Structure 1
Amino acid sequence: MSLSAAFNSLKSSNLISWKPTGKLQQTLAGCIELAGKTLHTGKVSKVKVWPGFAGEGRYFEFQSKLIPASIDFARESPLCTTLCKDGYKIRTVEHLLSALEAKGVDNCIIQIQSLDSEDSEVEVPIFDGSASAWIEAIEQVGRKVALDRCGNNAEKLAPYLNEPLHVLRNDSFIVGLPSSEVRITCGIDFPKVPAIGCQWFSSSFLDDSYEKHIASSRTFCIYEEVEHMRGAGLIKGGSLDNAIVCSVTKGWLNPPLRFHDEPCRHKVLDLIGDLSLFAQYGSQGFPVAHVVSFKGGHSLNADFIRRLSGINV
């Protein structure tokens, strides 16, 4: 498919208008290679992120299968975002995708493998529970203008929200409001966990803002829920080294926090990663809008993207 044909086939609805950003699509200037323990399975996996061609976007390669980082392949899974195709699954993609979207790495090939060559399921490493390792790796190799397979560059487009949009699940919601720039406002509420309580955080989507205020925020959990989650086959690789843990009665078990509202900022990190799944053909995934999320999560984020695509949920 040519680039012009690809852009003509961008997913759209009356809610979205695709407009030029004034920038050329980017990719990595070299290969990133990182390995580490995973959060939910506790296994070790290895990731190589290679430069990609303009107009081809971001996609994973696992067991010789290609799985685009697209909402078309997102499946509901507890406590993470999972991509599935032809019986193969890649779990916990949100932190890596968040870093790639924020740093403008529009096209890349993400090769991932586990130590067991027979696995049909693999998970992205958790590192310290934030996106810092990915940001540092991207900065180290740098970025360059992406060229297509014929040697041509391509303009980067962005999806502008034309009218208000919302999705609801019980007392959780995400609202998108038309705006001339990307802005994110996020709220969480844990009334039974006083050390967390109700928090709000708001930020623009500028490169330096993400690095300074969002990327280093770590995933968090409630100590009293750990046994139940492990009984459900989750967070087998979780520890005080890759998450901040809060007790209902004792507060934070592994301080200090990097920000007083670190849990809320981490929800913004996740939201950016999940909404990057709206990206197509090297375009921007996160919509140009003011996105307001309250008590959101991966499933609600996916519902929001599907609504952007004109799919009723």
Structure 2
Amino acid sequence: MLIPTAVNALKSSRSISWSPTGRLQQTLAGCLELSGISLHSGKVSKVKLCPEFAGRGRYFDFKSNFIPASIDYAEESPLCTTLCKDGFKIRTVEHLLSAMEAMGVDNCRIEIANEDDEDSEVEVPIFDGSAGKWVDAIGEIGLKLAIDQCGNCCEKMAPYVNQPVHVWRNDCYLVAFPASAVRITYGIDFPQVEQMQNMGLIKGGSIENALVCSVSKGWINPPLRFHDEPCRHKVLDFIGDLSLFAQLGSQGIPVAHIVAYKGGHAMHTNFVRHLSENIRVEK
């Protein structure tokens, strides 16, 4: 069986180069379906993950509208990452994409539906606030090698950072340094939650799916899974947002040591755009 490489289809620059990982692209071994309440809208949505051909990458299917999980379709939205195309929006995609990036689901069709058929936007369920349910479901269904429409396997590529790349705003910053392996260092500083409620968000939030902290009482819903769980959650979000850099079934996370302080979804996606713009400008 032939093993074509995607390197010729991926653009490189002085800042980023694409190299083979030594692994073949994968997809799901079968379909899986989960449903649950969404964090911000409070509505119930249903998600079905399906196998896809090599080189297709990950994309959402909402009312027969196909929205690639790509930075080209990401837009700024409060407290989540949203993909938008032709007026249709998929909100809070970060945990699902983080799970697929980490589990090696390189190619996947993500069918999503809302309880309200008239809506032009839909939100991915929040479950317990982590990516655990997605990881467990993917692990149960398993993976298989992805083949293209000609029956060939494809080599998986990864982006390598060759020189420092950074973005910042006030005292918040994100910088990637060249490294031989992926490493993420993250510092956080959260504002009070009341602001989110005043914006009409977190309607589906509860102590079952969110970390709640009081200035006087400390953590309302202990025990935490990890002593540094709030910071780990930001890394989870970050991986999902970085996955938007993936192209043609490639790896989305850059091989680099990435240092972040007080980042958020807007800064994450700005960083990925910066990586993409560097490639387009310096090709």
The amino acid that maps onto 2:193 is: E
Q: Do the aligned partners of 1:43 and 1:114 also contact (CA within 8 Å) in 2? A: yes
With structure 1 as the length reference, what TM-score do the two structures score? 0.85
Aligned counterpart in structure 2 of residue 253 of structure 1, from 208, 220, 229: 220
Residue 65 of structure 1 aligns with which residue?
Answer: 65
Runs (5+) with no aligned partner, structure 1? 191-221
Say yes or no: does 1:243 pair with 2:231: no
Residue pair 1:15, 1:310 contacting (<8 A) in 2 also = no
Count of residue pairs brought into register by the alignment? 277
Give the match for residue 156 of structure 2. Answer: 156
| Equivalent residues in 2 for 1:142-291, closer than 5 Å | 142-189=142-189, 225-226=193-194, 228-291=195-258
Deviations 1:171-222 (A, max 9, x none): 11111000111111111135xxxxxxxxxxxxxxxxxxxxxxxxxxxxxxx7
Q: Paired residue for 1:43?
A: 43
Relative distance call for 1:63 and 1:7 in structure 2 (3 A) is farther
Equivalents in 2 of 1:142, 1:4: separation in Å? 24
Query: Would the aligned equivalents of 1:37 and 1:237 in 2 still touch at CA under 8 Å?
Result: yes
Query: CA shift at 1:10, angstroms?
Result: 2.0
Moved more, 57-66 or 244-253: 244-253
1:303 aligns with 2:270: yes
Over the aligned positions, Cα root-mean-square deviation in angstroms equals 1.6
Q: Is the 1:62–1:112 Cα contact (8 Å) retained in structure 2?
A: yes
Displacement of 1:231: 2.6
2: CA distance, partners of 1:84 / 1:6: 26
Query: Post-superposition, which runs of at least 4 consecutive aligned residues in structure 1 deviate over 3 A?
Result: 3-7
Residue 81 (structure 1) shift: 0.2
1:292 to 256, 259, 263: 259
Structure 1 residue 125: Cα displacement: 0.1
Give 3-state SS (helix, strand or coil) of 2:59's partner. Answer: strand
In the alignment, residue 256 of structure 2 is paired with which amino acid? A
CA distance in 1, matches of 2:157, 2:175: 22
1:87 maps onto 2:54 in alignment = no
Gaps of 5+ in 2: none
Residue 4 (structure 1) shift = 6.5
What is the deviation of 1:14?
Answer: 2.2
- The alpha carbon displacement at 1:159 in A equals 0.4
